[in-house]
């Protein structure tokens, strides 16, 4: 039955959901890539759609920005709609000097400066990691498609502007091998672990924090021009079963 944040009925959401932060990106994915897409949610303008890709049911739904927002939607998808896997498709700022605009980063793990994990009351610090099957599949597909890709650690930050403004903090994360900064993956990985489900985050590099002369994608480009990532994510989604 519907939740406070999702109008879908049971059976209207596929077993695998692609999850961008921006609900308008979800709309673009549905219109551009899915066959026979039907909208199942518009509550709070957090658009969600289900269609097929290569004949396989796939859903796409926005998560909003930040860990609290994805925490709501990922929990509801796993707990109330029997979703098996969520693949986050987002943008990220490149910390590693190897990253370039429009490169793909696949998050093997996700550090965080958030206190989100404290709610689990664990006797230590939890390490949020991706599902290995999804990770290895996505990396293989990206290689086959010739997409410039880095696989490794990201930082899911609660602070959008702080990462760019605090060069010292960014440099310290980079010195530990962290590839890029984004805002949601760590919570997604924790929630997937909590529910015994699968999760993967992949990101198009939209700006470069490691250099002052980087340029960056416009808001419209972030919404509409992440085609390499979309194709890798969709090809990965149809392998889930």
Is residue 228 annotated as part of the catalytic site, yes or no?
Answer: no
Identify the sign of the CA torsion 116, 120, 125, 127.
negative
Cβ atoms 62, 27 nearer than 8 A: no
- Rounded to whole angstroms, the maximal C-alpha distance in the chain is 50
Query: Which residue out of 96, 131, 207, 228 is catalytically annotated?
Result: 207
* Whole-angstrom distance, CA of residue 170 vs CA of residue 209: 8
Q: Output the 3-class SS for 157-196.
A: CCCCCHHHHCHHHHHHHHHCCEEEEECCHHHHHHHHHHHC
Residues recognised as catalytic: 207
């Amino acid at each position: 039955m519907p939740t406070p944040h999702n109008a879908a009925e049971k059976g209207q959401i596929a077993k695998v959901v692609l999850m961008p932060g921006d609900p308008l990106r979800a709309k673009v994915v549905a219109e551009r890539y899915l066959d026979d897409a039907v909208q199942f949610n518009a509550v709070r303008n957090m658009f969600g759609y289900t269609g097929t890709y290569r004949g396989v049911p796939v859903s796409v739904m926005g998560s909003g920005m930040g860990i609290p927002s994805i925490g709501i939607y990922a929990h509801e998808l796993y707990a109330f709609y029997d979703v098996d896997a969520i693949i986050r498709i987002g943008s990220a700022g490149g910390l590693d000097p190897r990253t370039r605009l429009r490169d793909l980063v696949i998050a093997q793990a996700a550090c965080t400066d958030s206190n989100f994990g404290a709610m689990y009351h664990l006797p230590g610090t939890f390490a949020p990691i991706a599902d290995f099957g999804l990770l290895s599949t996505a990396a293989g597909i990206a290689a086959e498609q010739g997409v410039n890709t880095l696989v490794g650690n990201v930082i899911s930050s609660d602070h959008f502007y702080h990462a760019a403004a605090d060069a010292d903090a960014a440099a310290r994360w980079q010195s530990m091998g962290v590839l890029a900064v984004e805002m949601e993956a760590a919570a997604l990985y924790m929630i997937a672990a909590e529910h015994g489900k699968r999760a993967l985050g992949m990101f198009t590099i939209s700006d470069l924090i490691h250099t002052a002369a980087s340029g960056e994608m416009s808001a419209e480009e972030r919404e509409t021009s992440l085609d390499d990532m979309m194709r890798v994510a969709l090809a990965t989604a149809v392998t889930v079963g």
